[in-house]
Amino acid sequence: MFVRQRLATIVVVLVLVLAGCGGADVTDDREPYGVDAETDPEPVPGLTTSGVTNASALQDAHFDALETMSFRYNATVVRADANGSVTFERTETHTIASLGSSATGETTSVEHTEAGADRTTLNWWLEDGTVHLHQHAGNETTAWTDESLEFTDLATTPDLEAAYDSIDTITESDGGDRYVLEGENVDIGAITNATVTVVVHAEGYVESYRLEGVSHNESVTIRITLEPIEGGELEEPAWLERAK
C-alpha cells in the first residue's frame, strides 16, 4: 500500500491567433474573454499522458480502488554489498479481503552474516481492527495480539510521493488499461541515485512498483506487485487461537 503524496501541475496552453476585420490581416495576442486553456485528459485522477498533475489525487485514486476490492500483495526487498553478495532479503505475501475487514500475510526475512543466515518468519491475521501474530525465529515460536498495528506496519510500503516527484516519462500501455511511469536519478528516503518504475492501472490502483538504488554503500532493490482476486472470504490460520 502505498503512502499518499503531491506534485506540481502541468498545463498545455494553446495560443489562439485571430484574424482581424476590415480587409486587413491583424494579429491579436490577447486571450478572448471566457475561453479556458485546454488541458490533457486525465484517464486517472492526477495523471495525464504528459505527466503527473496531482500526486495526492493519484494516490487517493489508488486507495479508493483498494477499498472495494480483494487483492494479493507481494513484495521483495534485497540488499547486496559492493561485491554483489546478498546481505539481507525479505519476501512478503499478503492477501486482503478488504482494507476494512479481514487480511492475512506472511513475511520471511533472512539476514546474511559471517556466521550464516538468520531467518525469521512472521505470519499475521487482521480481523475487526485487531492484528494477531505468529513468529518463528531460530528455535523460538511466539504468538500474540496487537491492537495498534495496521497493514502499513506489516507490509513494505513505498513512498509514492517521492516517486511521482521524479517521473520523467509516462507510457500508455495495453490500449489505455495501464500507464507506465518511469524516473531516473531518484532520491527516496535513504535510497539514492535510483531508478523507479510504477505501473498504474486505469482503475486507479498501483499494479506494480520497482525501485533500484543505493543505500549505505549497498545496492537495494524493492519490487511490489498488487493483483486483484475473486472472493472476499479468507480461511483462519491454524495458529490463530494460540495468539488470541
Q: pLDDT tens, 99-156?
A: 557 889 999 999 998 778 899 999 999 888 889 999 999 889 999 999 888 777 888 8
Cβ–Cβ under 8 Å, residues 88 and 111: yes
Give percent of the chain with pLDDT exceeding 90.
55
The SS3 call for residue 45 is: coil
Grid cell 494553446 is found at 14
Residue 186: partners with Cβ closer than 8 Å, 6 or more residues away: 162, 163, 166, 193, 194, 195, 196, 211, 213
Question: What is the model's pLDDT at position 63?
Answer: 84
Which structural domains are found in the chain, ordered by start? 55-243 (2.50.20)
Position 11 confidence tier, pLDDT thresholds 50, 70, 90: very low
Interval 176-199 mean pLDDT: 95
Predicted confidence (pLDDT) per residue in 190-213, tens digit: 999 999 999 999 999 999 999 999
The SS3 call for residue 39 is: coil
Residue 61: partners with Cβ closer than 8 Å, 6 or more residues away: 44, 45, 46, 204, 205
Cβ–Cβ under 8 Å, residues 161 and 5: yes
Distance of alpha carbon 52 from alpha carbon 238, whole angstroms: 45
Closest to 132 (Cα-Cα) out of 92, 107, 105: 105
Cβ–Cβ under 8 Å, residues 133 and 145: yes
Question: What is the model's pLDDT at position 1?
Answer: 43
Distance of alpha carbon 52 from alpha carbon 169, whole angstroms: 10
* pTM: predicted TM-score of the whole model, two decimal places: 0.79
Question: What is the model's pLDDT at position 26?
Answer: 36
Phi and psi, residue 36, nearest 5°: -85, 150
Looking at 17-21, 25-29, 151-155, 220-224, which range is the least confident one? 17-21
